[in-house]
Amino acid sequence: MTSPSQTPLRRYVDFAHSLADASGAAIRPYFRTPIGVADKGGDGAFDPVTAADRGAEKVISDLVAAHWPEHGFVGEEHGTRNPDARLRWVVDPIDGTRAFIMGWPLWGTLIGLMDGNTPVFGMMDQPFTRERFWSDEGGSFGRSPDGERQLRTRTCTDLDQAILTSTHPELFAAGQETAGFAALRPRVRMTRYSGDCYGYCMLAAGYVDLVVEAGLKPYDIVALIPIIEGAGGVITTWDGRPATEGGRILAAGDPELHAKAMAVLAAG
């Protein structure tokens, strides 16, 4: 599977590409077809899951167990294995299941690798559009049917010039979260919703300037952190802490813009 000249990270990057290929093959037959949707939410909150979610995560989990049995695994659908392992794969098989069941291609498979408390690698694969975004030793990269290129965030230091995206305004709980987002949204040039993980990758590619979300779990964000940082962006919680545990997340393509947005969210 690997050659002696490969660095440890390079081995894991190559392995993650094979994971994405396998999970994509498991997901594609379900997309834009009649598919059963179960609700794993509670208290009236709709949290959909499909056979595509569960099948893709099992494919990834089984491959990790076969190739790296000593590694940990954290998945949205099937839980955790070897939680105390130093190296842990953190996976969301379909980030954006709501978009998936609506036939919108704004979803993706998230594959991240943690070394202790540090995300060292991330990948987002969109198997329907054949787009893939990942981090590597030399930065972050994107591949589409048009080819492959290195990703770079764009310079944007002023809020009134920024494009902001968020999955949905209902992500924000009443109180500080709603107030903070309500204070930031009119300060930017444009806001668009429904991106899920795709919005973060568009930030890394230089098309979006801010992503603001709340209520995220580690499997929603771990894979995206190295992609954004490798492209020159900044991603933290709203109060500037590491984003690895999820929660309230602020990503920006420009460090100066990140600081300004964080100040508005805090004051809101």
Q: Are 114 and 222 in contact (CB under 8 A)?
A: yes
Q: Tell whether 91 and 172 lie within a shared domain.
A: no
Write down the pTM of the prediction: 0.94
Token pair belonging to 219:
């499997």
Q: Per the domain annotation, does 23 fall within a domain?
A: yes
Closest by alpha carbon to 235, among 266, 212, 215, 264? 212
Structure confidence at residue 44 (pLDDT): 63
> What SS3 string covers 147-204?
EEEECCCCCCCCHHHCEEEECCHHHCCCCHHHHHHHHHHHHCCEEEECCCHHHHHHHH
Q: Say whether both 62 and 141 belong to one domain.
A: yes
* CA–CA distance, 30 with 128 (Å, rounded to integer): 10
Residue ending a domain, among 150, 177, 211, is 150
> Is the residue at 254 inside a domain?
yes
Residues 106 and 129 placed together within one structural domain of the fold: yes
Q: What is the pLDDT of residue 89?
A: 98
Cβ burial 67-78 (10 Å sphere, 16+ → b, else e): ebeebbbbbbbb
The residue range of the domain holding 128 is 9-150
What CATH number is associated with residue 199? 3.40.190.80
Residues 175-216: pLDDT tens digits?
Answer: 999 999 999 999 999 999 988 999 999 999 999 999 999 999
Give tens-digit pLDDT for 247-257: 999 999 999 99
What pLDDT score was predicted for residue 191? 98
**Cα 82 to Cα 73: distance, rounded to the nearest angstrom:** 7
- Judge if 104 and 37 occupy the same domain: yes
Spatial distance between the Cα atoms of 206 and 253, rounded to a whole number of angstroms: 7
Task: Check whether residue 164 and residue 130 sit in a common domain.
Answer: no
Domain count, the chain: 2
Q: How far, in Å, CA of 72 to CA of 81, rounded? A: 5
Residues in the annotated binding site:
76, 92, 94-95, 220
Residue 122's Cβ-side half-sphere holds a number of Cα atoms within 13 Å equal to 28
> Per-residue pLDDT averaged across 38-45, rounded?
75
For residue 138, count other CB atoms closer than 10 A to its CB.
8
pLDDT at 1: 40
The CA distances from residue 109 to 54, 126, 153, 221, 252, in Å, are 12, 7, 21, 11, 22
Per the annotation, where are the binding residues for Mg(2+)? 76, 92, 94-95, 220
pLDDT score, position 3:
43
Question: Could you tell me the pLDDT band of residue 41, with boundaries at 50, 70 and 90?
Answer: confident
User: Final residue of a domain: which of 150, 169, 202?
Assistant: 150
Would residue 224 count as lying in a domain? yes
Rounded to whole angstroms, the Cα distance separating 77 from 92 reads 8
Same domain, 61 and 120: yes
My answer on whether 56 and 16 are in the same domain is yes
Same domain, 141 and 33: yes
From 99, 125, 150, give the residue that closes a domain: 150
Q: What is the pLDDT at residue 6?
A: 64
3-state secondary structure of 62: helix
CATH number for position 78: 3.30.540.10
Are both 146 and 169 inside the same structural domain?
A: no
| pLDDT tens per residue, range 66-95 | 999 999 999 988 889 999 999 999 999 999
39/256: higher pLDDT = 256
| Cβ-Cβ contacts under 8 Å for 7 (sequence gap 6 or more) | 137
What average pLDDT is seen over the chain? 95
Q: Are residues 191 and 227 in the same domain?
A: yes
In a domain, 1, yes or no: no
pLDDT tier, 2 (very low <50, low <70, confident <90, very high otherwise): very low
Dihedrals φ, ψ of 234, to 5°? -130, 135
